[in-house]
Amino acid sequence: MTDVDSSILAQVRDWFGDALPERLGVAVSGGGDSVALLHILTRCFGENGPEIHAVTVDHGLRAESADEAAMVARMAGALSVPHDTLCWEGWDGAGNLQDQARRARYRLLSRWARSSGIEMLALAHTADDQAETVLMRLGRAAGVDGLSGIPERRIEGGVTFVRPLLGVTRQALRAYLVRNAIEWVEDPSNRDDRFDRIRARRALEALQPLGITVTALADVARHMAQARAALDWYSFLAARDVARLDAGDVLLDRRGFRILPEEVARRLLARVVRWVAGGEYPPRRAPLAAAIDAVRHGRRVTLAGCVVGGDAVSARVCREYAAVRDTRCAAGGIWDGRWRLNGPDPQGCEIRALGRGGLDACPSWRETGRPAECLIATPSVWRGDELIAAPVAGWSGQWRAETMQGDEEFFASFLSH
């Protein structure tokens, strides 16, 4: 083993530290980066480390993909590593292919990992991937979050995805493969200038004389990730001061919110809206800025499936009725991704938004202290056209409504991504 190889292996070992799972998954496409990761992990940990399981996602978009998956299976077998191939068959030819393929890949990988008892899955993103990501996001005028690039760790679908090679360049990995006579395949899409990432790769080559290199941009991402963590911490502290939960809504103390720095206020309200609406991404900057202004000055706005209203003392962020009007599930199911209702005799019942007509049938809704605009978007129990219960609106009918997550998870969400 050369000194360079030893250095790469030591870097990966140090990255994991003592946080090694019992089983470690590794996604291997057959390309150079992921093939190198598979070999590095097996050499790093051998018989004394975690049990390594390899997996390949075959998107079925190229004629060669099945052969490449078979090649990875043979390679894994030679290393005594179990291997599975997952096939994606969900693309209908519409929409953004790369985005849909990425989402499908993570869904398949998460499902595979959970079914295999694997809590951690390693991906082969490199310093080059990080640099290309930062460069593309610069072109979109990204802020701190965007420029923090690809995270080293991310929990998705109950699985922790890790990227131990973000500090290693693609060139170093290719040299590792050549030195160790390890074969890999080149994806022809890596030369296709129709893709933004490939154009960013070409631009990076041209920018090197200015000192804008892979290493420099990867350092920018690391610095921004540190800044992001600090901002998240102060947003968490601010939420502790100004926010409280009320039956699925979030109340914000206007006086405390007004004195928050702009970026902290932006993060806080964005997280609140995602918490209430269950959105995957934060709201866009312009409508979010308008909502921040509304919270400060007591105005009402709608934002990303939420209503931002309230009274002179507190802003209330609740679900917007139009966003859940057609959302239904069987009694005992999870409604709107966050509510569960339980009660007697659920046979033939379904859960749906209360609506104005349902609210009119709740004689004591005003005693809850919650606005009608918010209550009509809360879950209620129906049997056909008959309202059986509306627990949040003060008419329980022996039914109980609970959010799937409470105060602890809400505040913790400011520190996780």
DSSP secondary structure letter of residue 414: G
CA separation for the pair 183, 35 (Å, rounded): 8
Q: What would the DSSP string read from start to end of 324-335?
A: HTT-EEETTSEE
User: With left for phi above 0 and alpha for psi between -120 and 50, is residue 222 left, alpha or beta?
Assistant: alpha
Q: Are 266 and 289 in contact (CB under 8 A)?
A: yes
What residues contact residue 328 under an 8 Å CB cut-off, 6+ apart? Answer: 335, 350, 351, 352
* DSSP secondary structure, 16-58, as one string: HTT---SEEEEE--SSHHHHHHHHHHHHHHTTTSPEEEEEEEE
Q: How far apart are CA 123 and CA 34, in angstroms?
A: 7
Helix runs in 139-213, H state only? 144-147, 170-179, 196-207
For residue 21, what are the contacts with CB-CB under 8 A and spacing of at least 6?
A: 50, 118, 119, 120
Residues at the binding site are 29-34
- The token duo for 328 is 């239904």
* Cα pseudo-dihedral 210, 214, 220, 226, rounded to 10: -170
Q: Which residues are annotated as a binding site for ATP?
A: 29-34
Q: Give the Cα separation of 76 and 37 in Å (integer).
A: 12
Q: How far apart are CA 41 and CA 76, in angstroms?
A: 12
Beta-carbon-side half-sphere exposure of residue 235 (alpha carbons within 13 Å): 24
